[in-house]
């Protein structure tokens, strides 16, 4: 099964390889180059401000590009139109949902980590596929519920897969670090390894999600939710809970360190 998943991921990767590599490498080179310059140069504050401003722009463009890549792969694995215009239309129609779910899941996981650690880990696992599901499912599908059902039902096979992926990623990171001390050519190879690792990792996540999604759909099709299941009120509620937990921790630290 693992061999089949990697084979399917490679087929999907080859289909969109140039777009994936272009996005994941193009924006990693300026960021890496800036980081290297900051390590070895002593620059005036004004120039440092310009560099940090450029890094911020690169970061924003990277986020936008990664969102585009996610919607591209989401539509591709479902067999839908993957032309540039179609991807942009789908992304724009679901951007509000994408932001609400992303913020809601992130705030809830962070609050759980501050609360007792374990709830945050469990919520993080449950919502792992929710961001992918937004790009593949209809807007009426409760992607948080779908992701939670998949993770609960196939937890141990998924954990074994994630462990294998983690080992491979660590080996690639070690290889990338070995190239980092060199000159421009080594920097390019470091960015290339990083780009391949990130882009193929996204594809592999989609392949795993699609495999277990289809398997669960065949066994127990989830019900679609007609009502909004993540509202801005829910997002702000968890933002308040996170702020409250931070204040509690600050108060505890203040008492302990006195």
Handedness of CA 75, 77, 79, 83 (dihedral sign): positive
pLDDT tens column, 111-161: 999 888 888 889 999 999 998 999 998 888 888 888 999 999 998 989 888
DSSP string of 202-219, one letter each residue? HHHHHHHHHHHHHHHHHH
The pLDDT, as a whole number, for residue 40 is 47
Write down the residue that tokens 């829910």 correspond to. Answer: 234
Q: Do 133 and 208 meet the contact criterion of CB atoms below 8 Å apart? A: no
Domain that includes residue 91, residue range? 2-257
Mean pLDDT of 201-220: 88
The total of structural domains in the chain comes to: 1
Angle 226-229-234 (CA atoms, 0-180°, nearest 5)?
A: 150
For residues 143 and 27, which has the higher predicted lDDT (pLDDT)?
143
pLDDT tens column, 36-69: 554 444 545 555 454 455 556 666 777 787 888 8
Average pLDDT, the chain: 79
For residue 102, count other CB atoms closer than 10 A to its CB.
Answer: 17
* DSSP-H helix ranges across 79-139: 84-116, 118-126, 130-136
């Amino acid at each position: 099964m693992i061999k089949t998943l990697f084979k399917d991921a490679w087929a999907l990767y080859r289909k969109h390889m140039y777009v994936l590599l272009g996005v994941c490498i193009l924006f990693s080179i300026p960021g890496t180059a800036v980081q290297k310059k900051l390590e070895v140069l002593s620059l005036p504050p004004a120039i440092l401000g310009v560099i940090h401003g450029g890094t911020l722009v690169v970061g924003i463009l990277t986020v936008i590009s990664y969102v585009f890549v996610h919607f591209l792969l989401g539509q591709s694995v479902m067999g839908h139109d993957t032309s540039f215009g179609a991807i942009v239309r789908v992304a724009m129609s679901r951007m509000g949902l994408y932001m609400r779910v992303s913020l809601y899941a992130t705030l809830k996981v962070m609050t759980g980590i501050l609360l007792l650690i374990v709830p945050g880990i469990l919520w993080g696992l449950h919502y792992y596929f929710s961001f992918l599901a937004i790009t593949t499912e209809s807007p009426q599908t409760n992607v948080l519920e779908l992701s939670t059902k998949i993770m609960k039902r196939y937890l141990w096979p998924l954990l074994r897969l994630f462990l294998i992926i983690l080992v491979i990623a660590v080996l690639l990171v070690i290889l990338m670090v070995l190239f980092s001390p060199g000159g421009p050519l080594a920097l390019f190879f470091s960015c290339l390894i990083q780009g391949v690792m990130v882009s193929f990792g996204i594809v592999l996540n989609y392949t795993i999600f699609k495999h277990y999604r289809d398997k669960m759909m065949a066994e127990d099709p989830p019900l679609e939710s007609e009502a909004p299941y993540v509202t801005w009120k829910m997002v702000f509620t968890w933002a308040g809970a996170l702020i409250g937990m931070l204040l509690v921790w600050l108060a505890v630290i203040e008492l302990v360190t006195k």
